[in-house]
Amino acid sequence: MKASFSRGLTQMNADKPNPFSSAFICVHPRPIVFWLVPARSRRRVARGFTLLEMIVATLIMAIAVVGLLGGISGATRNASRVRDYDRIVQLSRLRMNDLLLDPTLAANGALSGRFDPAVSGGLEAGWQAQSSIFETPPNPAPNLAALERIELQVWWMSGEQRRTFTLEAFREHVLQPVSTSAGAPR
């Protein structure tokens, strides 16, 4: 085997002396597989893309780009809607905190208003608050504590559609002589 291997390399390189002819392993700049492949197959044929291949590749890329653009536009719309909703929720929380601390909001009273467009990010938005006595002591009397419910309904325009949501909170209310009448809810 060693002799036939060396002889094969010597025959291929007959014009060059082979210093490793007696060695078992031959170190050569080209791999052995290169010498085993016929010369015809070793030639590289320069080949480009055909017009049909280019049309198919362009069509596939166009379909992918259209799909990605559709997904991006949908994501942009959703992000805008979430941003508006988040802004309105924050404004609603601030308004509810103000109402909970507002001593002028009477029991069984109502208030309404609009949010400043500079604060609401240019959205047309407003609110309406309704206060009512939620629970009274068993024998209501003036200067006793009762539980007051404040319902805040917030609206804003999303395009042509009016969207709303409601917040609800409770606070302590001191009964006044007027609110202890027989018709007050329990």
In this predicted structure, what is the pLDDT of residue 180? 45
Q: Give ranges for CATH 3.30.1300.30 in the chain.
A: 51-180
In this predicted structure, what is the pLDDT of residue 14? 55
> Using one digit for the tens of pLDDT, what is the confidence trace for 125-183?
999 999 998 988 888 888 888 899 999 999 999 888 999 999 999 998 888 776 444 44
Name residue 182's amino acid. Answer: A
> Using one digit for the tens of pLDDT, what is the confidence trace for 49-84?
889 999 999 999 999 999 999 899 889 989 988 999
In this predicted structure, what is the pLDDT of residue 29? 59
> Using one digit for the tens of pLDDT, what is the confidence trace for 103-137?
888 878 899 999 999 988 888 999 999 999 898 88
Category of 141 on φ-ψ map: left (φ > 0), alpha (ψ -120 to 50) or beta: beta
167 backbone dihedrals φ, ψ, rounded to 5°:
-115, 150
Q: Give the residue ranges of DSSP H helices in the chain.
A: 2-12, 32-36, 39-42, 51-101
Tracing tokens 């609401």 back to the chain, one arrives at 120
Please spell the DSSP secondary structure of 133-181, one letter per residue: EEE--SS--TT-EEEEEEEEEEEEEETTEEEEEEEEEEEEEEPPTGGGS
Asked whether the whole model's pTM tops 0.75, one would answer no
Q: What is the DSSP letter of 30?
A: S
Class of domain 51-180: alpha beta
In this predicted structure, what is the pLDDT of residue 68? 93
Instruction: Kindly report the number of other CB atoms within 10 A of residue 131's CB atom.
Output: 21
What torsion, rounded to 10 degrees, do the Cα atoms 60, 63, 67, 72 define?
A: 90
Structural contact between residues 129 and 110, judged by C-beta atoms closer than 8 angstroms = yes
17 pLDDT band, cuts 50/70/90, is low
